[in-house]
């Protein structure tokens, strides 16, 4: 049998999970039903108002006032590169890598091929 938790009102779920001392009363359940209906009607009214406002703006051709300036992605990426390199300008790190490639040296230092780690001995 399929069980949907939304089938049981939240007040009863709280009581069953011992999150409240007393079971919900009939009056409390009726009050919550009235509150939910009022909330749904207010939401519907707000959605209709917003829909009409957007239609008026489209008809007039004015831009949406709630839309702010778009973020500058290039500047953000530059700041992220700067913070990763420890405060150096973003171009400096790229220039250093280009110089290493031109010199023929590896881009990142690697351990020598003859390195062998020591074995770990407990208590040493």
Query: What's the average model confidence in pLDDT over 96-104?
Result: 54
84 domain-assigned: no
Nearest to 95 by CA among 107, 83, 86, 110: 107
CA distance 83 to 77: 10
Contact criterion met (CB below 8 Å) for 81 and 89: no
Q: Among candidates 68, 65, 87, 90, which has minimal Cα distance to 77? A: 90
* Residue at 42 is within a domain: yes
In a domain, 93, yes or no: no
Indicate whether 32 belongs to any domain: yes
SS3 content of the chain, % helix, strand, coil (to 5): 55, 0, 45
What was the pLDDT predicted at 6?
A: 81
- Provide the mean pLDDT of the chain: 80
pLDDT digits (tens, 9 = 90+) for 3-25: 787 888 889 999 999 999 999 99
pLDDT of residue 117: 80
Give a yes or no: residue 48 inside a domain: yes
In total, how many domains does the chain have? 1
| pLDDT confidence of residue 79 | 85
* Claim: this prediction has a pTM higher than 0.85: no
State what percent of residues in the chain have pLDDT above 70. Answer: 72
Q: Which residues contact 90 (CB under 8 A, 6 or more apart)?
A: 78, 81, 82
Digit-coded pLDDT (tens) for 22-35: 999 999 999 999 99
Residue 113: the pLDDT is 76
Q: What is the pLDDT of residues 38-80, one digit of tens each?
A: 999 999 999 999 999 999 988 887 666 666 677 788 888 888 8
Residue 101 maps to a domain = no
State which residues form the domain around 56. 25-64
For the record, the structure tokens of 60 come out as: 């007039």
Flag whether pLDDT at 89 surpasses 70: no
The two three-digit tokens of residue 109, written as one number: 């230092």
């Amino acid at each position: 049998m399929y069980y949907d938790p939304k089938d049981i009102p939240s007040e009863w779920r709280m009581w069953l999970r011992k999150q409240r001392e007393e079971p919900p009363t009939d009056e409390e359940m009726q009050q919550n039903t009235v509150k939910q209906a009022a909330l749904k009607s207010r939401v519907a009214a707000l959605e209709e108002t917003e829909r009409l406002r957007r239609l008026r703006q489209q008809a007039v051709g004015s831009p949406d006032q709630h839309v702010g300036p778009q973020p500058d992605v290039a500047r953000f990426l530059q700041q992220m590169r700067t913070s990763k390199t420890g405060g150096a300008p973003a171009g400096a790190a790229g220039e250093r890598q280009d110089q290493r490639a031109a010199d023929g040296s590896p881009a990142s230092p690697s351990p020598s091929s003859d390195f062998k780690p020591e074995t770990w001995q407990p208590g040493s």
